[in-house]
Amino acid sequence: MIREQILQTLDPQARQPWWKGAVIYQIYPRSFQDSNGDGVGDLAGVTARLEHVASLGVDGVWLSPFFRSPMCDFGYDISDYCDVDPIFGALEDFDRLVARAHRLGLKVIIDQVYCHTSDQHDWFRQSRADRTNPRADWYVWADARPDGAPPSNWQSVFGGPAWTWDARRGQYYLHNFLTSQPALNLHNPLVQDALLQTARFWLDRGVDGFRLDAINFAMHEPGLTDNPPVLTPGKRTRPFDFQHHYFNQSHADIPKFLHRIRTLLDSYGDDRFTVAEVGGELADVEMKTFTHGDRLLNSAYGFNFLYADDLSPEVIADTLRIWCGGADEGWPSWAFSNHDAPRAVSRWGRPEHGTALARLNLLLLTALRGNMFLYQGEELGLPQAEVPFERLRDPEAIANWPQTLGRDGARTPMPWTAAGPHAGFSDHEPWLPVDPAHRWLAVSEQEADPQSTLNLARRAIALRRSHPALRVGDVTDFAGAGPVVSFRRVATEQTVLCVFNLSDQPQIFTPPAGLTILAQSGVAELATGRLGPYAALIAQVPSSD
C-alpha cells in the first residue's frame, strides 16, 4: 500500500483505476486443477491453486465459463446463467473461490455470454414452442424464403449455414456458432433486462467484473440482408470466411446495450471492470466504438496477436498505431494466447526456439500499452500440445481437422508436477491428455530455478507494476528495422526503452548511452549492441535523454 501511494505521488498517470494497465490471468477451469478425481478441473481445484496465481503478481483472474451447460461448446452454451454446472461444483464452491481470491488480493472477472444460449435453456425451449408465447421473440426467428431456403446467406463460425429449421415453429432460428447455440434477440429490451438481471446475480456474489464473449455478435440487422462475398484472395477454411460479416453482427445499437451494462456495474461502485472480446474484420473499429468515452466498456481486446501467424514488426506497429491514446479513446487489452487460439510459442516459432520465444513474448506483452492477459501455462512457456485425432473434443477442431491446429491443444491440463500421474492435474485420466513435452515445463521444475520462464514472468509482472511508464505510459519512437523492434514507454519523469529481436538470428542495435537494464531475456549487450536470437531488453532511459 505504501509503495502504491509513493507511485501516485511521483506520477499522476499512476492515479488510475486498478484495471488500467492490469495483468489478468485467464483460467480455463476444465484444465486447471481437478479436485475430485473425475479428470475434469473444477472450482475447488482453482481455489486450491490460487496461491500460484497470486505468486505471479497479477491483479486478477478471468474465469472461463463454469455455468450450467450441456457442454456442446464446453460452457459457452449456457443453459442456466445463474448456476454452476455440477461438473465444476456448486455455488458454494464459487463463493469460496471469490473469498479466497479476494484474501489474496486478486480481482475475479467472469465470462458473460450474451449473444446466445444453449438450446437447452428454458428461454429457448419456451420460445420454440410456438409463435405466440411470452418468449416467442427472445431469439432470432425468421420464415423460409419462398423456395424453403434459409432467410439469408449468413454462415456460422463453426461451418455451414447460420440458420437451422425448427419444425415446431415452422421457422428458421439464427445461430452464429453451433446449431445448439441459438442467437438471442437483443433488439428486444426484455431480453436485455433478463441478461442484466443475471449480471446482478454475480455482482451480488462479489465478482469484480465481466469479460463479454463475442459481444459484436450481440445484434443482427433485422432486415436479414445477405452478406456480400469476399472477393480478395486469401486462405479460407470455412464457409464463414467467404463473406464480409456486415449484417449478421456489428449492429449500430450494440453500444446502447453496452451503456446499460456499464450503468449497472457503476451502480456497484467505480472499481468494477468490463472487457469485450471483439473479433472479425471490423474489430479495430468496434473495439474503439465499444470503449469510447467513459460511459461504455472499460476495455476490449481483439485478435491482432491471437490469430497472427507470425510475430512481425508490422503486426506490432499496426497494433500500437491503432491505439495511440487519442481524445476519448478507450483502453485496449492484449493477449497472445487463450483457450480459443493455438499457443503463441507454436504459432510464431519452431520447437527448438520455444523457450527463447516464450520469454520474449512475456517481456513484449509486459511492454505493450494496454492491459495484459496471461493465459494459464503461458508463464511456463507451454507450446501447443499434441492431441491425437481420437482424443479431440473441440467441435471446431474435429470439423476442420487437419487443416487447423484447433483449440484442444491450447486447453490441455496445466502441468503442476513433472512426476506423478497426469502432471499433478488429476489422479484420473484427464478429459484431454497431458502432452509429455509439458512435463519438463511443469511448475515443480521451474519453481526453484531463478532463471526459469516462470520466474522471469514474475519479475516482468513486478516490473510492470512498479513502473508507471510500463503500466499506463504512452508509446513513442517506434522503430522496426528488420526483425528488431524498439519503442519507448513514457510517463511523467520516466522513460523505458523496450527492444526485441523477433528472429532466430543474432542482430545488432544501437543503444542510447546511460541505459540501466531492468529486465532481459537472451543475449542483450549494451556495450556492443548485440542481440541474440529472440532476445528482449527493457531498460531505464536517463531522464536527460
Q: Kindly report, residue by residue over 31-83, the tens digit of the pLDDT.
A: 999 999 999 999 999 999 999 999 999 999 999 999 999 999 999 999 999 99
Average pLDDT over residues 465-491: 95
Number of other CB atoms surrounding residue 55 within 10 Å = 14
Q: Is the pLDDT of residue 403 over 80?
A: no
Average pLDDT over residues 476-505: 95
Average pLDDT over residues 295-306: 95
Q: Is the pLDDT of residue 332 over 80?
A: yes
474-540 is a CATH 2.60.40.1180 domain: yes
**Predicted pLDDT at 348:** 96
Residue 424's region, left for phi above 0, alpha for psi from -120 to 50, else beta, is: left
**Predicted pLDDT at 233:** 86
Average pLDDT over residues 135-146: 98
Q: Is the pLDDT of residue 357 over 80?
A: yes
Q: Where are the alpha helices (DSSP H) in 447-522?
A: 453-466, 468-472
**Predicted pLDDT at 3:** 40
Average pLDDT over residues 121-148: 98
Average pLDDT over residues 430-448: 96
**Predicted pLDDT at 5:** 45
| Confidence band of 399 (pLDDT split at 50, 70, 90) | confident
**Predicted pLDDT at 36:** 97
**Predicted pLDDT at 274:** 98
Length of the chain: 545
Three-state SS at 76: coil
Exposure string of 479-516, with b = 16+ CB inside 10 Å and e = fewer, is ebeebbbbbbbbbeebbbbbbbbbbeeebebebeeebe
Residue 259 class from Cβ within 10 Å (0-12 exposed, 13-18 middle, 19+ buried)?
Answer: middle
**Residue 509 to residue 181: CA distance in whole angstroms:** 51
**Predicted pLDDT at 236:** 85
Show the cell assigned to 336. 497472445
**Predicted pLDDT at 246:** 96
**Predicted pLDDT at 545:** 58
Cα–chain center distance at 153: 29
**Predicted pLDDT at 326:** 83
Taking the CA atoms of the chain, what radius of gyration do you get in angstroms? 23
From the list 34, 59, 85, 213, the catalytic residue is 213
Closest CA to 193 of 260, 252, 253: 260
**Predicted pLDDT at 324:** 84
Show the cell assigned to 9. 505521488
Are the C-beta atoms of residues 460 and 23 closer than 8 Å to each other?
no
| Confidence band of 10 (pLDDT split at 50, 70, 90) | very low
Kindly report, as residue ranges, where domains of CATH 2.60.40.1180 are found in the chain.
Answer: 474-540
Residue 260 class from Cβ within 10 Å (0-12 exposed, 13-18 middle, 19+ buried)?
Answer: middle
Mean pLDDT of the chain: 94
**Predicted pLDDT at 12:** 46
**Residue 229 to residue 146: CA distance in whole angstroms:** 23
Mean pLDDT lowest among 220-229, 239-248, 404-413: 404-413
Q: Is the pLDDT of residue 400 over 90?
A: no
Q: Is the pLDDT of residue 13 over 60?
A: no
| Confidence band of 15 (pLDDT split at 50, 70, 90) | confident
Q: Is the pLDDT of residue 163 over 80?
A: yes
Average pLDDT over residues 324-338: 92
Q: Is the pLDDT of residue 119 over 90?
A: yes
The question of whether 277 is a catalytic residue gets the answer yes
**Residue 263 to residue 349: CA distance in whole angstroms:** 44
Superfamily holding 2-118+188-461 = Glycosidases (3.20.20.80)
Closest CA to 274 of 261, 287, 284: 261
**Residue 118 to residue 75: CA distance in whole angstroms:** 9
Show the cell assigned to 383. 507450446
Average pLDDT over residues 426-446: 96
Q: Is the pLDDT of residue 8 over 60?
A: no
Q: Is the pLDDT of residue 504 over 60?
A: yes
The question of whether 447 is a catalytic residue gets the answer no
Kindly report, as residue ranges, where domains of CATH 3.20.20.80 are found in the chain.
Answer: 2-118+188-461
From the list 208, 277, 286, 408, the catalytic residue is 277
**Residue 30 to residue 412: CA distance in whole angstroms:** 9
| Confidence band of 226 (pLDDT split at 50, 70, 90) | very high
Average pLDDT over residues 1-19: 56
Show the cell assigned to 213. 464473449
